[in-house]
Amino acid sequence: MRIAFISWWWPYPANNGSRIRIYNLLRHLGQRHQVTLLSFAEQDEATPEQIEHLRQFCAHVEVVPKLTYQPDTFKSLVGYLSRWPRSLVDVYSPIMTALVKDLANSGTLDAIIASEFQTIRYLEAAPTTPAILDQIEVTSFYDRVKNAEGQASKLRAQLTVSKLEGALKGLLARGVAFSVVSEEEKRLQERFSPPGGRIEVVPNGVDTEANQPDAGMTIHPNTIIYTGAVTYFANLDAVEYFIKDVFPLVRARVPHAQFSVTGGTGNVDVSALKAQPGVVFTGYLPSVAPAVQASWVNVVPLRVGSGTRLKILESMALGVPVVSTTKGAEGLNVHHGEDILIADTPQALADAVVLLMNDDALRARLVKAGRALVEREYDWGVIAAQLNELLLKTTKQSP
C-alpha cells in the first residue's frame, strides 16, 4: 500500500514521546508498505544524515519548515474568527497542503496517516483519500478549561475545545478513522462522535529488543528517578509535587535517598527545587536508559496530562520497577501489586517507594512481571500490527 505519513514532529532522533511513537510506527509500517514521510522540522533538524537514516524505511522523505505558535501575533488573533483553533491558524503551512494535494491528485496514494491534532487541517487537501488521524487526544484541552484561572481564560479554552470538537466530528463523519492511546480517551471522543465514527485504541509501546535489563549494570540503592523534561507542564507539576510533598516523607525514613530528574529545563526556573536535599536535575541525556537502569525505582507522580506513559513502558522493559499515580498509569493494562505499585496521596506514594527500597523480593517480582507485560502487549511490533489492521479496515482491504 502507498501511504503518506504527515508528522508535526521531526521523528529522528526519537527523543520525546511523540517522536518515539512516530519513529517506531514508521519503522514497522515501512516493512509492509511504501511510506512517504511528510514531516515538519525546525531549523536544526532534518540534517542530511537524519534524512538518510529515515530513508532506510521510508521510500520518500519531504521536509517542511515548522512554524512556532505565537498567540499574540495578528495572524493568531485573527484566528479567533476561524472555525479552526487559532494555534492551527497561526502555524498553518501552505507548503504542506500543496504536498498532500499533489500526492492525492497523482493517483499514487492509497491512504494517509496524520499524526496528532496539529495535522488535521491537511486532511482537507485530500478529502477522498482514506485516512487515519493517529494519537489524537482531547483530554489536555478539557483540562485547560477545568484549570483555567479567570473567566476570560476559561472562555478562550472553551472556544478552543468547541472548535476542535467540531473539526474532529467533521473528520469522523467523513470517514477518517481515529487511533487513540487509551480507553479513557476513546470514551471522551465518543461523546461528540457522529454515528458510525471509528475510534480505536492503538496504545503507545516500547522497543523491547533495544530496551532490555542489563545484568551488568550497577544499581544504586535508595535512588529514585523521574524521566521527563519539566518544560512540559504535566512533568513540571509531577516533579514539583514529588519534591515538595512526597520526597520529604521518603527522606524522613531513608535519609540518604536520592531523586534524579532527567530532561532539559529550558527557561523553567528549577533553582528552588534542585536546592532541596537529595534532588538532582541531570539536564538532557542523549539516552535515559543507563540512568534508569542504575536507579532502584522509577516514580511517575503525574496528576495532569493525557496519553499512555512511555516512561512506564520503557522502565518495565529496562527492568526497573515503577511507582505511579493512577493518572500516571492511565491507559495501561497494569495491576497494582502485580507489575506496578499505584498510589495517589503523598503518604501512599512515599510508603510505596520506601517499601520497594526495603523489599528485594517485591522488587524482583515487579521487575519480572513488568518485563513480561511489555513483551506481550506493548512491543512496537504488536502496536504497529494494530495500526496496520485499522489501516486495512479504513481502506477496505483484506489482510
pLDDT digits (tens, 9 = 90+) for 180-203: 998 889 999 999 999 999 999 999
pLDDT of residue 398: 47
pLDDT of residue 262: 95
CA nearest to 239, candidates 287, 274, 210: 274
* pLDDT at 227 exceeding the cut of 70: yes
Residues 74-133 pLDDT 10s: 888 888 889 999 999 999 999 999 999 999 999 889 999 999 999 999 999 999 999 999
pLDDT of residue 399: 52
Q: What is the pTM assigned to this prediction? A: 0.88
Residues 31-74 pLDDT 10s: 999 999 999 999 999 999 999 999 999 999 999 999 999 888 88
Residues 123-180 pLDDT 10s: 999 999 999 999 999 988 998 898 888 898 999 999 999 999 999 999 999 999 999 9
pLDDT of residue 40: 98
pLDDT of residue 74: 83
CA nearest to 184, candidates 384, 353, 332: 332
Give the integer Cα–Cα distance in Å for 339 and 273: 30
Residues 271-311 pLDDT 10s: 999 999 999 999 989 889 999 999 999 999 999 876 657 89
For residue 166, give the C-alpha cell.
467540531
Asked whether 154 and 181 are in contact (CB, 8 A), the reply is no
Percent of the chain with pLDDT over 90: 83
Residue 237 has phi, psi (to 5 degrees) of -60, -45
pLDDT of residue 233: 87
Asked whether 296 and 357 are in contact (CB, 8 A), the reply is yes
Sheet of strand 258-262, all strands in order from the earlier edge strand to the far edge: 279-283, 258-262, 223-227, 297-300, 322-324, 341-342
* C-alpha pair distances (Å), 162 with each of 74, 159, 168: 22, 5, 10
The full set of domains in the chain, from first to last, is: 2-205+380-395 (3.40.50.2000), 223-377 (3.40.50.2000)
Residue 323 has phi, psi (to 5 degrees) of -115, 125
Give the integer Cα–Cα distance in Å for 230 and 195: 40
* C-alpha pair distances (Å), 24 with each of 3, 33, 54, 294, 385: 16, 14, 11, 25, 12
The least confident of 32-36, 134-138, 251-255, 353-357 is 134-138
- Work out the mean pLDDT of the chain and round it to a whole number: 94
Give 330's pLDDT tier (boundaries 50, 70, 90).
confident
pLDDT of residue 148: 87
Q: Please count the other Cβ atoms lying within 10 Å of the Cβ belonging to residue 219.
A: 13
CA dihedral 250, 252, 256, 261 (to 10 degrees): 40
